[in-house]
Structure 1
Amino acid sequence: MTDAEKAETVSYTLRNLSSSLDKTIAAVANTLGKSKNALILETLEREFYNYISTYARSNLLVSAMDAELAKKFGIEILSEWYESEHTIQYDRYLSTKLKLDSIDKMDAVFKGNLPLLELRAQQLVNKGYMRLPRGISLTFALFIEIAKQKDEALIHEIRKGLFGITKDFYESLNEIRAALSLPAIKPQ
């Protein structure tokens, strides 16, 4: 949160929380040495300053493309969002590396990669992935955005930071790069 954003704040009142939830929040806050207010505020900021997940959850085109890909490829889109500490770290890392620091930039990336979503979906279907989480079309668009990067060092850095020893990363990436008439990236 910037200093300007901190200067312009609003207050929220939470009503109808169960006493068990309040006790849980109090216990977690106590364990972390924070007030309940600080814990809740940090949780809200972590959730809503994550432009990737915020865009996925709020954009109707992402939902529409999920449905379209499901229909075309026979993929089951799960009703749940896939979330864990790893997805939060993944989103933050990718946001930093690709400079995705606003909803407008997310929108440009998603819409700019729509033409190749089917190629990415086909890659996963060919590997047997037939049940995928909501928002998967945005995940596909982000992978395509990685493939579009001209800076090979950045691509290698992202692979190392996010995909680790995934064997088929470069194969999938280079298939997308070929569709974009970009040169293949040599695996490291």
Structure 2
Amino acid sequence: MTDAEKAETVSYTLRNLSSSLDKTIAAVANTLGKSKNALILETLEREFYNYISTYARSNLLVSAMDAELAKKFGIEILSEWYESEHTIQYDRYLSTKLKLDSIDKVDAVFKGNLPLLELRAQQLVNKGYMRLPRGISLTFALFIEIAKQKDEALIHEIRKGLFGITKDFYESLNEIRAALSLPAIKPQ
């Protein structure tokens, strides 16, 4: 949260929480040495300041593109959102590395990469991935954004930080770079 955002705050009142939930919140807050208010505020900030997942969940164009890709490639889009500690870390890592510090920046990346979503979808279909989570079109757009980077060191850093020893990272990345008339990146 920026200093300007901290200066402009509002108050919320939560009603109708079960007593068991209140006890759980109190126990967790006590264990962490925080007030219940601080714990709830941190939880809300962690959830809603993840601009990538917030955008994926709230943007109708992401849902529409998921449906379009599913129809075109015979992909099943899972009805539930896939989220784990890994997806949260993935989103935070990419937000930092690609400087996606607002919904508007995520929107620009998504819309700017729409023309290549089918190429990325085809790459995964060719590898046998036929069941994918909701919001996958945004995940595709983020991979395309990685491929568009001119800073090779950044691309290698992202590969190491997120994709580890994935064999086909550079192959998929370079296929997208070729579609953009960008030079191939030599694997490290």
Kindly state the Cα deviation for residue 124 of structure 1 after the two structures are TM-superposed.
0.7
Q: How big is each residue's C-alpha offset from its partner over 1:93-126, in whole Å with a ceiling of 9 and x where there is no partner? A: 1011111111111111101100100110111111
Q: How big is each residue's C-alpha offset from its partner over 1:111-159, in whole Å with a ceiling of 9 and x where there is no partner? A: 1100100110111111111111110000000000000001100000000
List structure 1 runs of 4+ shifted beyond 3 angstroms.
none
Q: How big is each residue's C-alpha offset from its partner over 1:10-54, in whole Å with a ceiling of 9 and x where there is no partner? A: 111111122222222122111111111111100100111111011
Structure 2 counterpart SS, 1:12: coil
Once residues 20 and 134 of structure 1 are traced to their aligned partners in structure 2, the CA distance between those partners, rounded to angstroms, is 32
Structure 1 portions without partners, runs of 5+: none
> Which residue number in structure 2 is paired with residue 28 of structure 1?
28
Return 129-138 or 1-10, whichever deviates more.
Answer: 1-10
> Which residue number in structure 2 is paired with residue 67 of structure 1?
67
Q: How big is each residue's C-alpha offset from its partner over 1:47-71, in whole Å with a ceiling of 9 and x where there is no partner? A: 1111101111111100000000011
Q: TM-score, normalised by structure 2?
A: 0.97
> Which residue number in structure 1 is paired with residue 114 of structure 2?
114
Once residues 81 and 130 of structure 2 are traced to their aligned partners in structure 1, the CA distance between those partners, rounded to angstroms, is 16
Structure 2 portions without partners, runs of 5+: none
Q: How big is each residue's C-alpha offset from its partner over 1:154-176, in whole Å with a ceiling of 9 and x where there is no partner? A: 00000001111111100110111
RMSD: 0.9
Once residues 19 and 123 of structure 1 are traced to their aligned partners in structure 2, the CA distance between those partners, rounded to angstroms, is 50
Structure 2 counterpart SS, 1:129: coil
> Which residue number in structure 2 is paired with residue 81 of structure 1?
81
Structure 2 counterpart SS, 1:115: helix
> Which residue number in structure 1 is paired with residue 126 of structure 2?
126
Once residues 136 and 51 of structure 2 are traced to their aligned partners in structure 1, the CA distance between those partners, rounded to angstroms, is 15
Once residues 24 and 127 of structure 2 are traced to their aligned partners in structure 1, the CA distance between those partners, rounded to angstroms, is 41
Instruction: Count residues in correspondence.
Output: 188
Once residues 72 and 114 of structure 1 are traced to their aligned partners in structure 2, the CA distance between those partners, rounded to angstroms, is 15
Once residues 16 and 169 of structure 2 are traced to their aligned partners in structure 1, the CA distance between those partners, rounded to angstroms, is 47
Once residues 26 and 132 of structure 1 are traced to their aligned partners in structure 2, the CA distance between those partners, rounded to angstroms, is 37
Once residues 23 and 68 of structure 2 are traced to their aligned partners in structure 1, the CA distance between those partners, rounded to angstroms, is 43
Q: TM-score, normalised by structure 1?
A: 0.97
> Which residue number in structure 1 is paired with residue 152 of structure 2?
152
